[in-house]
């Protein structure tokens, strides 16, 4: 897992771990599952209430707007996380480690639509892997990155203490 270093105004270095591509894909799958459950549930509700006969506009408004705004609203209102990112302990931050402004989330959201719909998910994955900073097109443009907040657990070597000869 790569990391990047942030230098604070007090000359203190903070290391942030860049989220791995596997964790990012799993977070995307979790979010896609949530969106799929929402689609199925709301379709049944719309069919049960008879709103589907009210016209296509109402149908697409109820189904489409939440799907379209899912990432933008969750990330901007929930401190840089969607439910998938929360479960996998990922967060969107600015390159300096601070919380991104709403405009940064909008840039990420707009470019995500282009990346996923037009370019292709495979090209996005390759660009994240080859970038060197773990950033996709949207993150590069918004000057943000997705970090992992998982605690690293490791073993420390304890020196063996021996009693000196008396």
Query: Residue 18 has which token pair?
Result: 């860049």
Overall pTM > 0.85 = no
Which residue(s) pair with 13 in the sheet? 7
Which residue(s) pair with 140 in the sheet? none
Instruction: Tell me the pLDDT tens digit for each residue of 69-84.
Output: 999 999 999 988 999 9
> Strand 90-94's sheet: what is its strand order?
3-7, 13-18, 144-148, 90-94
What is the pLDDT at residue 43? 83
What is the pLDDT at residue 11? 66
Query: Residue 76 has which token pair?
Result: 């901007």
- Of 40, 48, 105, nearest in space to 73 by CA: 105
What is the pLDDT at residue 3? 62
DSSP characters over the chain: --EEEEE-TTS-EEEEEEPPHHHHHHHHHHHHHHHHHHHHHHHHHHHHHTGGGG-HHHHHHHHHHHHHHHHHHHHHHTTT--HHHHHTTEEEEETTSSPPPHHHHHHHHHHHHIIIIII-HHHHHHHHHHHSSS--HHHHHHTEEEEE-PPP----PPPPP-PPP-
Low-confidence residues in the chain, pLDDT < 70: 1-14, 50-55, 117-121, 132, 152-166
CA distance 84 to 75: 11
What is the pLDDT at residue 159? 57
What is the pLDDT at residue 36? 93
């Amino acid at each position: 897992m790569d990391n990047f270093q942030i230098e604070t105004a007090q000359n203190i270095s903070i290391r942030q771990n860049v989220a791995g591509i596997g964790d990012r894909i799993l977070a995307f799958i979790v979010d896609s599952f949530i969106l799929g459950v929402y689609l199925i549930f709301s379709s049944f509700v719309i069919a049960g209430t008879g709103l589907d006969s009210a016209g296509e506009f109402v149908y697409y408004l109820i189904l489409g707007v939440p799907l379209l705004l899912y990432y933008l609203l969750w990330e901007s209102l929930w401190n840089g996380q969607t439910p998938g990112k929360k479960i996998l302990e990922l967060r969107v931050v600015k390159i300096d480690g601070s919380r991104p402004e709403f405009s940064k989330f909008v840039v990420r959201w707009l470019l995500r639509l282009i990346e996923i719909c037009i370019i292709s998910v495979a090209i996005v994955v390759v660009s994240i892997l080859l970038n060197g900073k773990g950033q996709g097109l949207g993150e590069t443009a918004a000057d943000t990155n997705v970090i992992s907040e998982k605690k690293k657990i490791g073993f420390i070597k304890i020196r063996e203490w021996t009693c000196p000869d008396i």
